[in-house]
Chains A and B, each alone.
Chain A
Amino acid sequence: MKKTGIVLALVLIAVSVLSACSSNGKESGGQAESSAEASKDVVNLTFWGGVPPEAGPQEIVDNWNKENPDIQVTYVRYVNDDSGNLKLDTALIAGQNVDIFANYTKPLLTKRVSSGAALDLSQFTDYNIDDKMGPSAKEWAVDGKYYAMPTKRNMHFVWMNKDALDEAGLPVPTDWTLADVEKYAKALQTDTRWGYTTFPFWRDIVPFDGSLAVQGYVKEDGTSNLGAPIVEKALQAHYDMMHTSKVSPPISLIETTKMNVIAEFLGNKLALLNAGEWMFRDANNLTDYPRDFKVAFAPLPRITQEQDDFRYLGGLGDAIAINAKSEYKEEAWAFLKWYADGGMLPQASGGRIPASKDADQDKAVELLLGDLEDKYDVESLKRILNNDLPTFQVTLPQEVIDLRREEFDKYYIKAQSLEDTINNVAKRHNDYLKRK
């Protein structure tokens, strides 16, 4: 009896230890095998991205796999939020199978470069990123070098209910300010329809970062510039739209009901929505979001008429990087070039327009509109797609974005005065700057 007791216990330990080790052992063993027999065997690449596979990536990967039987790519989706990015970062550090991965903000890419996860692409000389993607590509360079290739055009603009505009006799604006927005919103607002709001994620970034992109977030003496006069004007304007003219839903309503502003706009309960190209995914989905009105597009509103250094949130996005520790860098690079120059087109119906000058732009717009061309005001759409307004990228670190949002929200819900808000933001930003 005692012997069987000890044996049983030993077996239990052995099983638990083996099961813990075996999963790691299998992976590393497998990799070693495939790299040993390099040329003849099929190369397996893993591509991590944030877009749901059914919105284009699966088709992209299938297209590539058909044409390239010796390089097979698998798409792995990670949700582009805190936990999803943590998942990707952990996978990169732990040496898990990640050959190609997409970076959606510059700060995230910079972190991955510092930890050595992103490959320096300057070793590949057969593709000139600056030439293909245009001057905005430079915003994605870290220390002057490219560690990821930006592949899509970021476009932020205002979605407008064209039918409502026509009813009110208003033209589609080509350049306007927040004061104009308020006028439009007042004219378009009804009992069942709000006038104007911004997609919550970009609520502070579009107006405030756009205003400070040229001036800078930090003054020359090293202190915070987040309390600049233009910021005060913008804050006041948004506050008035919520509480004075009441054309915007107040923050408290949006937060406590987790309002889906895209659904509100497409359901004709909101006339003007400051958002971007990602909305096409839902706007083209007439099954879930049926609508019968036409949509027109306007550029982002500036804060004041005299403002001449406003920058439009845009530039390039979806910066795809190759894992510096990948065993198949050449194959990954081949896929990346193909992807950027047109392979990524299946995602165009969701709004992802390729940035490369060698990608078929007309095809992209065709896919974007699908067979819903009559639901869009194509003239204003083409204007938005082809403009050369000066753009900027998000470069503020997450912590600063959060602390600013906290203070601004307190002002919007009337928990603190405008003056206190400006002072608190500047103070907290200064504390942050002192630490860095």
Chain B
Amino acid sequence: MKLNWMRKQQLTGYLFIAPNMVGVSLFIIIPALFSFFLAFTNWEFPLLKADFVGLSNFKRLIQDEVFYTSLKNTLIFLGSVPVSVGLGFLTALILNKSVYFKNALRTMFFLPYITTGVAIAFVWMLIFQPENGPINSILRSLGIDHPPGWLSSTSSAIFVFDIIWVWFLLGYNVIIYLAALQEVSSELLEASRIDGARKLHTIRFVIWPLVSPTTLFLLMTGFIVSIKQMGIFQAITDGGPGNSTTVLSLFIYKTAFRYYDMGYASAISVFLLLIIIAITAIQWIAQKKWVHYS
């Protein structure tokens, strides 16, 4: 066997990444493929046998009311991502301008992102408590007699999660945007100021396009992270009241680990994967329109 120098280098490279690849294959890729295959069976854990049922899980999915409710709730929840990204951009702009206590403010904004989900869950539950919580108390003192039921009402519960999630992602978005704003060349800003552009124009036509790669990154990763969220829903409402805060990931969890219906849960997971791919693909294609790479 004659190994030349180049081949040896390649081999070394492969050997170094092998441990990680073994791990990723064993724990991520193979289970994902197995799950895809499970979607065509009717396996119920912990039984030892299952049958092929072709597309019947997907047929059941299409007729399942709870599935459509979960899908709707997931889409409403995902609406919090662009809101948070937008607010993050504005906050970063302000923070970028030598505000007093800049470091302290930056830390404060970032703290939610590193706090554990359960702690966040309980604090927000208390804040939104309909009878005694601070938000409704303030609303009542302002004269609103029937403030929303927040988490106890089927129509408003999912929006509470939107609010919590905007708050949660804000810190991360701000940090990333602050880094991006550092890259904006001050010469460009000076040039536009000399040309007589007003503040708002500068932001809209100079700064915003220049940070658009960051915006794309934050939107794409934001959607992917948000669509996988389950813990926060389980901790606060466990999908209730009724099904109004059941999102797709929670629906999959309950089907798989509470009802032990693995075949159906895998089918929903496949669907979730398709949604993520669709959202990502749309953004990827649309980026040609609005993302400017320098």
Contact = CB atoms under 8 A, between A and B. Distances in A.
A117 B46 contact: yes
Contact of A402 (B19, B153, B254): B254
B48 A116 contact: yes
A400 to B, nearest CB: 10
Contacts of A409: 240-242
A255 B242 contact: no
Interface stretch (B8-16, B106-114, B209-217, B280-288): B8-16
Interface stretch (A86-94, A142-150, A223-231): A86-94
Interface string B162-199: 00000000000000000000000000000000000000
Contacts of A423: none
A410 B46 contact: no
Contacts of B150: 256
Number of contact residues on A: which range applies? Answer: 35 or more
Interface residues of B, number: 43
B259 A10 contact: no
B137 to A, nearest CB: 14
Main secondary structure of the interface of A (DSSP, over half): helix
Given A256-B129, A256-B151, A257-B129, A6 B22 contact: no
Contacts of B48: 115-116
Contacts of A112: 46
B257 interface: yes
B146 to A, nearest CB: 12
B24 interface: no
A253 interface: yes
A252 B22 contact: no
A86 B257 contact: yes
B47 A413 contact: no
Contact of B130 (A2, A13, A115, A252): A252
A93 B47 CA distance: 9
Interface string A1-35: 01001100110110011000000000000000000
A399 interface: yes
Interface in B248-267: 254, 257-261
A32 to B, nearest CB: 24
B6 to A, nearest CB: 11
B152 A402 contact: no
A93 B260 CA distance: 14
A415 B241 contact: yes
Interface string A386-424: 000000000001110010001101100101000000000
A435 interface: yes
Nearest to B152: A252
Nearest to B11: A6
Nearest to B238: A255
Contact of A406 (B129, B155, B242): B242
A9 B22 CA distance: 14
Contacts of B60: 435
A258 interface: yes
B91 interface: no
A255 B241 contact: yes
A410 B149 CA distance: 13
Contacts of B153: 252, 413, 415
Given A13-B15, A256-B151, A258-B125, A115 B241 contact: no
A114 interface: yes
Contact of B19 (A16, A93, A252, A428): A16
A111 interface: yes
Contacts of B205: none
A435 B42 CA distance: 11
B37 interface: no
Contacts of B77: none
A184 B128 CA distance: 33
Given A252-B149, A413-B149, A415-B153, A10 B15 contact: yes
Given A410-B241, A410-B242, A6 B260 contact: no
Nearest to B44: A111
Nearest to A108: B260
B15 A253 contact: no
Contact of A2 (B8, B155, B258, B259): B8
Contacts of A83: 257
B16 A12 contact: yes
B101 to A, nearest CB: 35
A29 B123 CA distance: 49
B35 interface: no
A82 B65 CA distance: 24
A413 B129 contact: no
A212 to B, nearest CB: 21
A180 B237 CA distance: 32
B18 interface: yes
Interface string A236-264: 00000000000000011101111000000
B229 interface: no
B154 interface: yes
Interface in A194-230: none
A109 to B, nearest CB: 12
Contacts of B243: 406
A398 B258 contact: yes
A261 B228 CA distance: 33
Contacts of A16: 19, 22-23
Contacts of B11: 6
A274 to B, nearest CB: 21
B45 interface: yes
Contacts of B240: 255, 406, 409
26 contacts: A6-B12, A9-B18, A12-B16, A16-B19, A16-B22, A83-B257, A93-B45, A111-B44, A111-B260, A252-B241, A255-B152, A255-B240, A256-B129, A256-B130, A256-B151, A399-B258, A399-B259, A399-B261, A407-B242, A409-B242, A410-B154, A413-B149, A413-B241, A415-B154, A415-B241, A415-B242
> Which 10 A-B pairs give the minimum distances between C-beta atoms?
A252-B152, A9-B15, A115-B46, A410-B242, A16-B19, A415-B154, A5-B12, A399-B259, A89-B46, A9-B16
Given A16-B23, A428-B65, 7 more contacts: A2-B12, A10-B15, A111-B44, A255-B152, A256-B130, A397-B259, A398-B258
